[in-house]
Amino acid sequence: MEVYKFKTHRKKIIADLITPVSVYQKIRDNFPNSILLESSDYGANDNSYAYICFNPTSTFKLNKNTVEIIYPDNHTETSQINKSNSVINQLNLYKGKFQLQKSESKFFENGVIGYMNYDSVQCFENIEFDSNKNEISIPDVFYSFYSNIIIINVFNNEAILLHHSLDKKNNLDTIEDCIRSNKSSKYNFEKSGKISSNLNDQEYIDLVKKGIKHCKRGDVFQIVLSRRFKQSFEGDEFNLYRALRSINPSPYLFYFDYGGYKIFGSSPEAQLVIKNNKAEIHPIAGTFLRTGNDLKDSIEAEKLAVDQKENSEHMMLVDLARNDLSRNGNNVTVEKDREIQFYSHVIHLVSKVTATKKNNSSSFQIAADTFPAGTLSGAPKHKAMQLISKYENCNRSFYGGAIGFMDFEDNFNHAIIIRSFLSMNHELVFQAGAGIVSKSDPKSELQEINNKLGALNKALDLAEKI
């Protein structure tokens, strides 16, 4: 097996006059297909890094059971996914093609970055979705190796410029000149027409009623049923990302530009985190609307903490996370149980479930065996996904997938693609769902979707004013 041996060139600069957004705006003008990863949780040095990644020199794509890999020397391989040649096996082989210096840093320095969409679960589990319901044509799995990474430590006002190259040459001076330059293009964003949906309010209420019947019959304990929205636009959707990160600061802020389409959002929830062989899932379930008044919000939080329906829904998903992690982990533990967390428009119950990774399990395998998140499917997961496929009138594609990075030491950090947009052909697609249980009230579940979409709708309005 040929291995590509990279040398890492680095340069540290003072970053007191730059921000992740300003740097990204300059980089994207010179380097297409660039990405931005941020977090609003900059209160501590351990979680104070933003990443701008560009110059993808190798890509891994899965499209309809066909894997296409382009290597750093432009050599291309294609193969078919089947029982003896799984996508996880292919991803692990792909990751093994890269050899870089072992990093001792706290932050991400090298690895593969990308996403797996919700529908890719068909490659991990014995389940099949109706291909006639595919509305969005993007790769099911897409990971890239980026030669250049700019790491900005927002806490310490430092930036590290990295160039992974196959020879002694590097472009760090050029990158610094780009960052220092006063040139960056800015364009307006404008909505075109009104928001449309695949379901009207009554149709979604009827869908919820079907979910309740299945819960009462015992087919599932919970099912997450969603609704899709579309908004046409003109101009620069990066303004929408800027608006969203301002309105709805979240642990996972991301903007992935793939040329023909973009995926960006402000997700509150991790799909899976693996660090130093410890795997974590953070189930978020149980949602109340924030009022904007601190005293009233505090009262609402107390109500949420004792709400029987919301707690029951949450504990189902904690149990599901424990079960998922036990497939490839030992010492499964609930480290945090139903903590109240406040977001811009909603209040959530959040737990933390951890496990020690088994020696023979790869991070991609753990990701596959915990995918999709129970908070996006329901429980039991397999039956819930079958019912979702039956009743939702379009396949989910990006919505409910996972997006993030995995380094070459097998550390893994992906967010669930929620509170997010897909932009393609001057159209924005976004989606939200509600967890349905036997005691659900259909109108309340409809309102939960509206609550979750509050930040996205406000961002659409604000983006026109930037």
pLDDT digits (tens, 9 = 90+) for 12-60: 999 988 999 999 999 999 999 999 999 986 444 456 799 999 999 999 9
Specify the pLDDT at position 47.
62
Mean pLDDT of the chain: 92
Q: What is the pLDDT of residue 344?
A: 65
Q: What average pLDDT does this structure show over 102-108?
A: 78
CATH code of the domain occupying 4-463: 3.60.120.10
Handedness of CA 194, 210, 313, 321 (dihedral sign): negative
Task: State residue 291's pLDDT score.
Answer: 76
pLDDT of residue 199: 96
pLDDT surpasses 80 at 149: yes
At residue 302, the pLDDT reads: 84
Give the predicted TM-score (pTM) of the model. Answer: 0.93
For residues 318 and 235, the answer to whether their CB atoms sit within 8 Å is no
pLDDT at 396 over 80: yes
- pLDDT bucket at 74, cuts 50 / 70 / 90: very high
Q: Crossing angle for the helix pair 201-217 and 381-391, nearest 10 degrees? A: 150
Q: Across residues 253-271, what is the average pLDDT? A: 96
Give the pLDDT of residue 44. 47
Question: Quick check: 296 pLDDT over 90?
Answer: no
**Which of 21-25, 130-134, 318-322 is the most confident on average?**
21-25
User: How far is 150 from 24, CA to CA, in rounded Å?
Assistant: 9
CA distance 433 to 78: 36
Q: What pLDDT shows up at residue 303?
A: 84
329 vs 53, more confident: 53
pLDDT of 230 > 50? The answer is: yes
Interval 408-458: pLDDT, tens: 989 999 999 999 999 999 999 999 999 999 999 999 999 999 988 999 999
Ramachandran sector of residue 456 (left: φ over 0; alpha: ψ -120 to 50; beta: rest): alpha
Q: What is the pLDDT of residue 378?
A: 93
What's the pLDDT at 310?
81
- pLDDT band at 347; cut points 50, 70, 90: confident
Q: What totals of helices (H) and strands (E) does the chain contain, helices first?
A: 11, 24
Q: What is the pLDDT of residue 352?
A: 93
Domain ranges for the chain, please list them. Answer: 4-463
pLDDT beyond 50 at 90: yes
